[in-house]
């Protein structure tokens, strides 16, 4: 097996327990061995498995498409949907700016279980601006609630917005009251509806 070959040529690491996979007793070995026949060709991704995905097309402005991924624990991850107009600009997005109006959202440090310092924002509040070569687009919160974190990696690596807006390129995480979610839930499109609308396959 490939695994055993790899283990055989790996340098020995002192002080650790035996690390080759074959060191399990037979029973444990049998329990952890997966049944290759039952595995799907492509498993659902962590995002697909863990979140309900919702989309807002033309949010406040044409082509301003955003997503809201809702976790069963009530947290919402917000980012740019595949057909966002900024992603279609030549050269894509080159910068992100969390300095909107009076506050720089990247400078607020939320702390503790009670999420002290978290800003309470409205659905249509500006969350940040994304910039292309010659244009700037305002990104909205899309949900009403507490802003727990913004993705500060985007400030150093804005390209994540172009390459993986649906994962590492997410923009922010909100915590929302369940009642507030029920009020806005129906305004959003499902992933299927969004795909059909924008002709994505």
The reply to whether 6 sits near other proteins by the rule CB under 8 A is: yes
Choice from 57, 86, 141, 160 touching other proteins (CB under 8 A): 160
The reply to whether 113 sits near other proteins by the rule CB under 8 A is: yes
Question: How far apart, in whole angstroms, are the C-alpha atoms of residue 107 and residue 104?
Answer: 6
The reply to whether 46 sits near other proteins by the rule CB under 8 A is: yes
The reply to whether 191 sits near other proteins by the rule CB under 8 A is: no
What is the layout of strands, in order, in the sheet containing 95-97?
Answer: 95-97, 126-131, 136-140
* Contact region with other proteins (CB under 8 A), list: 5-13, 83-91, 131-139, 188-196: 5-13
* Contact region with other proteins (CB under 8 A), list: 60-68, 128-136, 143-151, 180-188: 143-151
Q: What is the contact surface with other proteins in residues (CB under 8 A)?
A: 1-7, 9-11, 13, 16-17, 19-21, 24, 28, 31-34, 36-37, 39, 42-47, 50, 71, 73-75, 77, 110-113, 115, 148-149, 151, 153, 160, 167-168, 170, 173, 175
């Amino acid at each position: 097996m490939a695994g055993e070959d790899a283990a055989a040529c790996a340098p020995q690491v002192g002080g650790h327990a035996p690390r080759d996979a074959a060191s399990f007793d037979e029973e444990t070995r049998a329990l952890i061995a997966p049944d290759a026949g039952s595995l799907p060709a492509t498993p659902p991704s962590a995002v697909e498995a863990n979140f309900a995905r919702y989309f807002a097309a033309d949010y406040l402005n044409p082509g301003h498409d955003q997503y809201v991924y809702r976790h069963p624990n009530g947290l919402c991850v917000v980012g740019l949907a595949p057909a966002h107009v900024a992603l279609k600009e030549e050269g894509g997005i080159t910068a992100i700016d969390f300095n909107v109006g009076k506050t720089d959202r990247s400078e607020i440090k939320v702390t503790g279980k009670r999420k002290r310092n978290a800003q309470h924002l409205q659905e249509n509040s500006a969350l940040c601006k994304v910039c292309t070569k010659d244009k700037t687009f305002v990104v909205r919160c899309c949900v009403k609630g507490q802003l727990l974190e913004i993705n500060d990696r985007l400030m150093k690596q804005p390209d994540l917005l172009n390459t993986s807006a649906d994962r590492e390129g997410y923009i922010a995480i909100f915590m929302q009251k369940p009642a507030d979610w029920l009020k806005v839930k129906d305004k959003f499109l499902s992933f299927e509806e969004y795909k059909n609308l924008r002709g994505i396959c």
